[in-house]
Amino acid sequence: MVDDVVRGRLAPAGRVEVISGPMFAGKSEELLRRVRRAGFAGRSVEVVHHAVDTRRGAGAVSSHSGLAVPAVPISDVAALEEHVATVRAEGLDLLAIDEAQFFGSALVDAVQRFAGLGLIVIVAGLDVTFEARPFEPMPSLAALAESVTRLTAVCSVCGADAAFHERVVAAGAVTTGDAAGGSGAGVREARPELVGGAESYAARCRHHLAVRPWDGRAVTR
């Protein structure tokens, strides 16, 4: 900013805002609230989501409470950058990206480039896997953002704040996947086949997590 002032011009007003948390935390709802507010302020807004998530239909971002706005389904970061270049040529102030976890680690640098062009970039997505591990790229995006909002859900067992979610099956048993198989404490990236909603996942507080990878054991509550 100082260099820009010395040169007699203002820096672009780009910034990155991250909305993260477990499933059922209201991330999409918060993103939609900010999108609507930007619209009221007269900003030009573009909303996108990853094409792999079709739980509530393609071509829209919607919340569990029923809020919805039109959105463009995008398959990967290369397609996202191409789309942003096209829309920006027509005038763009704010880019909102939902289900960002499915774009993978390449999204981190792309978002920084978008902000460098002067765009406000709002990124919403899961930052924790159903195995209670960091879910990239959200943690890396949070480290480079001007604003980070981490939301919690409501534990479906006790009603406490839930910073986690677990994958469940119809009978209510927890499916632990790699964590139970001793795959270690590595950071996970998206596996599209795990896309699902309340029929597949449940919010959990720390006390009611069935799998705690940091101590290498499963617990029963």
Query: Which residues does the annotation place in the binding site for Zn(2+)?
Result: 155, 158, 205, 208
What DSSP string runs through the chain? -HHHHHTT-PPP--EEEEEEESTTS-HHHHHHHHHHHHHHTT--EEEEEETT--TT-TTEEE-TTS-EEE-EEE-SHHHHHHHHHHHHHT--SEEEEESGGGG-THHHHHHHHHHHTT-EEEEEEE-B-TTSSBBTTHHHHHHT-SEEEE--EE-TTT-SEESEEEEB-TTS-B--GGGTTT--SPPB---GGG---TTTEEEE-STT-SEETTTTEE---
Extract the annotated binding site.
21-28, 98-101, 155, 158, 201, 205, 208
Q: Which of 17, 30, 99, 131 is catalytic?
A: 99
Q: Binding site for ATP, residues?
A: 21-28, 98-101
Which amino acids are annotated as binding site for substrate, given as ranges? 201
Catalytic residue status for 199: no
Q: Active-site positions?
A: 99
